Amino acid sequence: MSAVGVERASLRRLLPARAAAELLAPFGRLLPAARMRLRRADGELHAEAVGEAWHEPGVARTWPLAIDAVEVGLLVIDPAPRTDAEEAAVEVLLGALRRALTAAHAQRAMAGETLERYREIHLLYRVGDALAGTLDPAAVPRRVLAEARGVIDGDGGGVWLADADGDGAPGARERIVVEGPSAAPSDGAGLRARLADPELPAIVAAGPGAPEHLLWAPMMAREACLGGVWLTRAGDDAVFAAGDLKLLTALATQAAAFLDNARLHQRALAQERLEQELRLAYTVQARLMPRETPAVANWSVAGFWRPAREVSGDFYDLLPVGDALGVVVADVADKGMPAALFMAVTRSLLRAAATGGRTPSQTVADTNRLAALDASDGMFVTLWYGVLRPDGEVRYVNAGHNPPIVLRADGRVERLPRTGILVGWDADAPYGEGVVTLAQGDLLVAFTDGVTEARDPHGNEFGEGRLLEIVSAHRRADAQAVLDAVRSALDAFVADAPTHDDCTLVVARFGTPPRVG
């Protein structure tokens, strides 16, 4: 690798020959009998000035010229000064030479430092260019390692990645990418110590148990340590320099930002895929809700279902049971995809169990037995299943569900209490049956707790009282109108507050002609 602008001090670089000759020339008058020469550290003649009265070489005297204790050349006065005046002149000349060398050295050091910054800037440009558009996190480690090895001499090197989820904890699912002949990650106590404390950049000299010198830079992004990059080098004089560490740190920081971005992109992609799947699942699930009400004499029925997220653990179902109508309102004790899957299973089991003239209690008991087999991961469902007969009789099972409300035409309120425990808990649980008979103008309202526990922006619950109030106010309307009134009131109440639970509501009115849709 070239070392532009950072080589050791030399007379030739510090005081070019022409400038040196110009500096010596005026001293020819002060030392007329002398020949003044500047020799380089390798002995070569660099510049000279000859006094007017100088004749031939005599016994010379030399003075070393040094910068930072490194000899860069010699001043040779031939013959050696003999008088005090000549000694004084030589002192003045030495002073002028040393000042010129020191000033040039300082300027060169500054320029060297600036060139180092230039080099860093361009390294970062280059890495930035190379990694721009890299959305694959796996591509970053090899790239950063290749760039590091391109700018810093080393025998080998590696990249250590902390937990891919980015918590930075060493040892958690760490992955190491290694290149080069002598960079096995187990090599050396130095590397093991860095892996235990990865956030500190370090130059570690070889020592007992560590055959190679080590250079370590952490990959920090958003104050988290995503990993680290290291280079190794063998040889007594090969310890890494501070400039190497600065470069590697700049590189590692740059790489960390790209790694972080690539990971965020991957997560966003995964999230997008998941959301797409959920949207699809919603479509599938929405199709499971009744699209029309099977005809049953003397009843009008309307239902409403709204998931809190894309998919729901709530459902309602309307199924013909002979000349009667089976109504299910159910709530799986969870939300999201697992609840949605369990909801679909429960719905199918109940539909299958309801056939063949089984009573509500037999239907729910069968459903429960089969659901309990599938519910090993703690998935349960509360449900109300009632069979609405044309004569107004309702036989029902309430499996741990909120008691539905019967609002009589004269304003009295009755509740349909639990007749068994929630479905899926105990395969052998017994389910009793309740019976209620509705008369002309009576309303039956079954719902999930998402309705009564819906919250407004201040955190207040909608509550059963409010539900009852609205239903009462509309009790002379048909089922769909009652349902619409509840839904509007619920929407107005919740306003823009976040929805936490699925909402399901079924309203059935006895004594009006059956409706479709």
CA atoms within 13 A on the CB side of 287: 5
Asked if residue 113 binds other proteins (CB under 8 A), the reply is no
Nearer to other proteins, 125 or 283 (CB): 125
Asked if residue 61 binds other proteins (CB under 8 A), the reply is no
Residues 339-343: contacts with CB within 8 Å, 24+ apart? 339/311, 339/312, 339/313, 339/379, 340/281, 340/285, 340/311, 340/312, 340/313, 342/313, 342/371, 342/374, 342/375, 342/379, 342/381, 342/424, 343/285, 343/312, 343/313, 343/314, 343/315, 343/381
Nearer to other proteins, 42 or 323 (CB): 42
Consecutive H or E run containing 251: helix 242-288
CA distance 218 to 229: 6
430, burial (CB in 10 Å: exposed 0-12, middle 13-18, buried 19+): exposed
Q: Kindly write out the interface string for residues 145-174 of this chain, putting x where it contacts other proteins by CB under 8 A and - elsewhere.
A: ------------------------------
Report yes or no: 450 and 308 within 8 Å, Cβ to Cβ.
yes
Q: What are phi and psi of 417, to 5 degrees?
A: -70, 170
Asked if residue 4 binds other proteins (CB under 8 A), the reply is yes
Residue position matching structure tokens 């070393």 = 64
Interface segment toward other proteins; rule CB under 8 A; list 54-62, 105-113, 266-274, 359-367: 105-113
Q: What are phi and psi of 490, to 5 degrees?
A: -65, -45
Number of residues that bind other proteins (CB under 8 A): 18
Report yes or no: 406 and 472 within 8 Å, Cβ to Cβ.
no
Asked if residue 243 binds other proteins (CB under 8 A), the reply is no
Interface segment toward other proteins; rule CB under 8 A; list 19-27, 110-118, 427-435, 473-481: 110-118
Interface segment toward other proteins; rule CB under 8 A; list 4-12, 85-93, 140-148, 249-257: 4-12
By CB under 8 A, name the one of 114, 271, 276, 437 that touches other proteins: 114
By CB under 8 A, name the one of 53, 111, 234, 352 that touches other proteins: 111
By CB under 8 A, name the one of 70, 121, 200, 270 that touches other proteins: 121
Asked if residue 13 binds other proteins (CB under 8 A), the reply is yes
Helix (H/G/I), strand (E/B), else coil: 377: coil
Asked if residue 132 binds other proteins (CB under 8 A), the reply is no
By CB under 8 A, name the one of 25, 100, 115, 421 that touches other proteins: 115
CB of 148 to other proteins, least distance (A): 15
By CB under 8 A, name the one of 66, 81, 94, 119 that touches other proteins: 119
By CB under 8 A, name the one of 8, 99, 122, 175 that touches other proteins: 122
Asked if residue 408 binds other proteins (CB under 8 A), the reply is no
Other CB atoms closer than 10 Å to residue 469's CB: what's the count? 12
Query: In angstroms, what CA-CA distances link 2 with 5, 123, 150?
Result: 9, 14, 11
CA atoms within 13 A on the CB side of 493: 20
Interface segment toward other proteins; rule CB under 8 A; list 81-89, 107-115, 163-171, 371-379: 107-115
**Token pair listed for 281:** 């699942």
By CB under 8 A, name the one of 51, 81, 112, 320 that touches other proteins: 112
By CB under 8 A, name the one of 5, 28, 185, 320 that touches other proteins: 5
Nearer to other proteins, 114 or 276 (CB): 114
Q: Report 436-495 residues binding other proteins (CB under 8 A).
A: none
Asked if residue 276 binds other proteins (CB under 8 A), the reply is no
Asked if residue 241 binds other proteins (CB under 8 A), the reply is no
DSSP string, 302-363: EEEEE-SSSS-SEEEEEEEETTEEEEEEEEESS-HHHHHHHHHHHHHHHHHHT-TT--HHHH
Report yes or no: 86 and 31 within 8 Å, Cβ to Cβ.
yes
By CB under 8 A, name the one of 7, 44, 153, 167 that touches other proteins: 7
The one-character DSSP state at 457 is T
Contacting positions for other proteins (CB under 8 A): 2, 4-5, 7, 12-13, 107-108, 111-112, 114-115, 117-119, 121-122, 125
